[in-house]
Amino acid sequence: MASRFFPIVLLVTAAAASACGGGGERAREVRGTARAEVAGIGYTSDQLAQALLTGAPGYRRAGEPDSGEYGSLKAIQNAARLQREATLDKPRCGTDRPGGTVAGDVPAALVSFTGSAGQTATETLMGMSAADAEKQVNARVPSGCLRFRTKIGSNWAEHRVVEAPKGEIGEGSRTVGVSTTSGGARSRTWYVVFRGRHYLATVTVFGPAVTREDAERLAREARAQAERVLP
C-alpha cells in the first residue's frame, strides 16, 4: 500500500464506515487490558485474539495481533486521531452514525496482513450482544455521504461509496466499498461487517485493485476461523 494512502484509508474507515467508526473521543479515555470482557457475554479479548485469522491465501501477517479494550487498540486510536485532524467537505459525514458507535471499552482484537500485490487486510473481532451487533449490521451510510472529500495537511482526496444490500455472511452482514482518488493515484477499500454468536467482526481490504469478492471471501474465512475457536 502506498504510504500516502495509509492515512486516507484509516479516515475512510472512520468516516464512511458508519457502523464501526472508531470510538472517537472515548478512545482516548479507556485503558487497555488484554482481558477485557463483556459482562454477561463472556468473551475476553484474549479469546477473541485466539479466534483471529492466522493467515490467508496471498497475505502474510503484519506484526502481532493487538487486543484489549476497543478504544485502546493502536489502529483504532490512529483512526480517531486522523479523523480529528482531517477536514471533511461534509462535516456531518464524520459524525452521523445511524447504527451508533462501538463503545471504547468492549473487548476486541485486531490483526493486519499485507498482500503480495501491495494490498492490505485487517480483521477486527469485538465482543458484543446480539442486539448491539444487529444494529451495526443494519446501519447504512447516509445518502448524502456517498460522495465526499477529505483533506489531511494540504492534500485533498475524493471518495465515492457504494453499499451492497444486507448479506448473509455469519448471522447477517453488510458490505461497503470506497473508491479514493488523490492527485493521480487511485485506490479502493472494501469492508465487511458481520455478526456471530456474541461477537461482531469487521474485515477490511485496501489496495489499487481489491474487490468486493476479495473482502467477502476473507470475511467468510474469518467467520469459519472464529466459529472453530470460540465456544
Distances (CA, A) of 57 to 51, 147, 210: 17, 32, 14
Rounded to two decimals, the pTM is 0.84
Asked whether 177 and 192 are in contact (CB, 8 A), the reply is: no
The predicted pLDDT at position 25 comes to 38
Cell, residue 19: 457502523
The predicted pLDDT at position 41 comes to 56
Which overall architecture, per CATH, does domain 3-229 show? 3-Layer(aba) Sandwich (3.40)
Q: Is 57 exposed, middle or buried (0-12, 13-18, 19+ CB in 10 A)?
A: exposed
The predicted pLDDT at position 103 comes to 87
Give residue-wise pLDDT tens across range 13-62. 554 443 343 333 333 333 444 445 444 456 999 999 999 999 988 899 99
pLDDT band per the 50, 70, 90 thresholds, residue 141: confident
By C-alpha distance, which of 118, 51, 29, 108 is closest to 75? 108
Give residue-wise pLDDT tens across range 74-120. 988 888 888 788 888 988 776 544 344 788 899 999 999 999 888 99
Give residue-wise pLDDT tens across range 192-202. 999 999 999 99
Domain ranges of the chain: 3-229
Distances (CA, A) of 44 to 29, 130, 230: 20, 16, 10
User: Residue 33: beta bridge partners?
Assistant: none
Give residue-wise pLDDT tens across range 146-165. 999 988 888 899 999 999 99
The predicted pLDDT at position 80 comes to 80
Give residue-wise pLDDT tens across range 177-225. 999 998 888 999 999 999 999 999 999 999 999 999 999 999 999 999 9
The predicted pLDDT at position 223 comes to 98
